[in-house]
Amino acid sequence: MAAETLAALLLLADGRLPAGGHAHSGGLEPTVAAGGVHDIASLEEFLRGRATTSGAVAAAFAAAACAALTAGDTGRFAVLDAELDARTPSPALRATSRKLGRQLQRAMRAIRPHPCWAELGSRPHHPVVLGAAAAVSGLSPSAAALAAVHDAVAGPATAAVRLLGLDPFATHAVLARLGPLLDDVAADATRRAAGSPADLPASAAPLLDLAAERHATWEVRLFAS
């Protein structure tokens, strides 16, 4: 990867990107409340499961959207949107993905103006917008996949520090240990993104679905999802 595109990837994957991601715990808040994550070890297993399920799906859709835009095939966005809906049975998670997608779309309109932001419609799914953002930034589908799977674990990891008071150093050590897994997930996602959208990964995470639905009924919560 050329030096200038590396900088573009860092910009896209930075948690400080003003696209609202910091307000989401990726299902960690309701999981902590249910006792599913209570220490570093249980956080690591949670993140491992998230990376290989919703992380893998997001990575593949980001890579596919990136490849579609790079090839000038923006008509594929609608196909990816419908396929992602079919892989997101939880209505709460579909709503969250579209909300995060719209926030990233809004940020990217200003950061890197491009006609694709209008072509994505008014409520695009987050991984599709992330893939388009990668393409507009001159990044490859593999970079889009890596940004997506990194995003799937980095958000909940930092939320764990706030929710459980976990040691931030130990929490980041978990993210470092997950590095090779994230690389594998991104490589697999990139390989599969070259095929038909119908054959993209569809890994299920039943407890994440349940947690999202439960969390959506809470009246008071620290994180939006």
Q: Is 95 in the site for other proteins (CB under 8 A)?
A: no
Helix (H) or strand (E) holding 87: none
User: Taking CB under 8 A as the rule, which mask of x and - marks residues 111-150 in contact with other proteins?
Assistant: ----------------------------------------
The single residue among 73, 206, 218, 222 that binds other proteins, judged by CB under 8 A, is 206
Residue selected from 24, 25, 50, 143 as contacting other proteins according to rule CB under 8 A? 50
- 193 Cβ contact list (under 8 Å, min separation 6): 60, 61, 63, 64, 66, 67, 141, 145, 200
Among 13, 111, 164, 207, which residue sits at the site for other proteins (rule: CB under 8 A)? 207
Residues comprising the chain, all counted: 225
Q: Which one of residues 92, 130, 146, 148 is an interface residue with other proteins (CB under 8 A)? A: 92
Residues 69-88 that bind other proteins (CB under 8 A): 82-83, 85-87
Q: At its nearest, how many Å lie between other proteins and the CB of residue 81?
A: 10
Q: In Å, what is the CA distance from 164 to each residue of 30, 39, 65? A: 12, 8, 35
Give the range of 32-40, 102-110, 134-142, 188-196 binding other proteins by CB under 8 A: 32-40
Q: Is there binding between residue 221 and other proteins (CB under 8 A)? A: no
- Check residue 191 for interaction with other proteins (CB under 8 A): no
Write down the least CB distance from residue 146 to other proteins, Å: 17
CB atoms within 10 A of CB 94: 17
Angle at 49 between CA 99 and CA 59, to 5 degrees: 50
- Burial bucket for residue 190 (CB in 10 Å: 0-12, 13-18, 19+): buried
Q: Is there binding between residue 39 and other proteins (CB under 8 A)?
A: no
Half-sphere exposure of 36 (CA within 13 A, CB side): 17
Choose, by CB under 8 A, the member of 31, 105, 158, 225 that binds other proteins.
31
Q: Is 26 left (phi over 0), alpha (psi -120 to 50) or beta?
A: left
Interface positions with other proteins (CB under 8 A): 27, 31, 34, 36-37, 42, 44-54, 82-83, 85-87, 89-92, 94, 181, 198, 201-210, 213-214, 216-217
